Amino acid sequence: MNPMNTAVRAGVARGLTELRQALTSGPDLFSLLFWPVVMIVVLFFMRNGTLEASGVTLGAFALPSILGMLVAVNGIFGMAQLLALEREDGTLLRAKAIPNGMVGYLIGKIVTVTGWVLIPFLIVLIPGLFLADGLAMNTAGAWLTLAWVLALGMLATLPLGAIIGSAFNSPRAIGFVSMPIMGLTAISGIFYPITSMPGWVQGIAQFFPVYWLGLGMRSAMLPADAVAIELQQSWRHLETIGMLVIWAIFGLAVAPIVLRRMARGESGSRVAARREKAMARAY
């Protein structure tokens, strides 16, 4: 039996088990569902508003943007938080000690975080289709566009989360990452058209995948005339694919390097020292 295939199967099984445990744990389930439910409430109150000079309702504009934000934030932050947490508690060290253990470990994290992305995505998408007026999801092309944007978005964000998580020894430090991610979300046209922002802000936003995820989702879900509120009055599908693929290639190339370097630096003494620090803070 091929050892690598065994590691991959073990990783998939591990990821599904962790996801199942999260869905049966009260605190984990709360953290998974809290923001999607908040977003549904926001959509409910935005449903009757309209963007000036566009005819697009605020709810219709916000829904695909929120979905793009969920993919980016959950993909990056979820992966980073898991890696930092399991680096501190010794899970990563135990995986390192098993032949091909790091392969199985990384596959498991990808499966788990993919579930963390898809579940909130569906929780917002399904009721959002009924709450937001003016969507154009009545063609196979729209659903196909939604699918490839979602797939490329996860490929672009999950490796970034692994890179960020490898840089921190403690899950508490990951909290500092949430602030720049939220700031980036605020300037990426998620809740209001990016065309209303200064040019230099638009340039910064277009460098990162959050903007392109939101744009791709809007291109799938909004009617054709809604493109008038976008930059260059175009859905820019080629640019969306290009930018998300670039970020995916960057992440997939760099993540294995930093993960191997992080694993080489792990030892029982370092895990014990981090555990003692965590216990000292608890008391």
Mean pLDDT, rounded, of the chain: 83
The predicted pLDDT at position 42 comes to: 85
Segment 99-147, tens digit of pLDDT: 777 777 888 888 889 998 999 999 999 999 998 888 889 899 999 999 9
Question: What is the band of 211 on the pLDDT scale with cuts at 50, 70, 90?
Answer: very high
Distance separating alpha carbons of residues 225 and 204, to the nearest angstrom? 26
Q: How far is CA 214 from the centre of its chain?
A: 12
CA neighbor of 125 nearest in space, from 48, 166, 65: 65
Segment 157-208, tens digit of pLDDT: 998 888 888 877 666 666 677 778 788 888 888 777 888 888 898 999 999 9
Distance separating alpha carbons of residues 91 and 101, to the nearest angstrom? 11
Mean pLDDT, to the nearest integer, of 58-86?
85
The predicted pLDDT at position 267 comes to: 60
Residue 10 has pLDDT above 80, yes or no: yes
The predicted pLDDT at position 141 comes to: 92
The predicted pLDDT at position 197 comes to: 85
Segment 222-247, tens digit of pLDDT: 988 888 888 888 999 999 999 999 99
Question: What is the band of 12 on the pLDDT scale with cuts at 50, 70, 90?
Answer: confident
Q: Positive or negative CA dihedral for 162, 163, 168, 172? A: negative
The predicted pLDDT at position 281 comes to: 55
Distance separating alpha carbons of residues 151 and 72, to the nearest angstrom? 11
Assigned token pair, 116: 């963390």
Kindly report the pTM of this predicted structure: 0.86
Cite the DSSP H helix spans in 167-236: 175-186, 199-205, 209-221
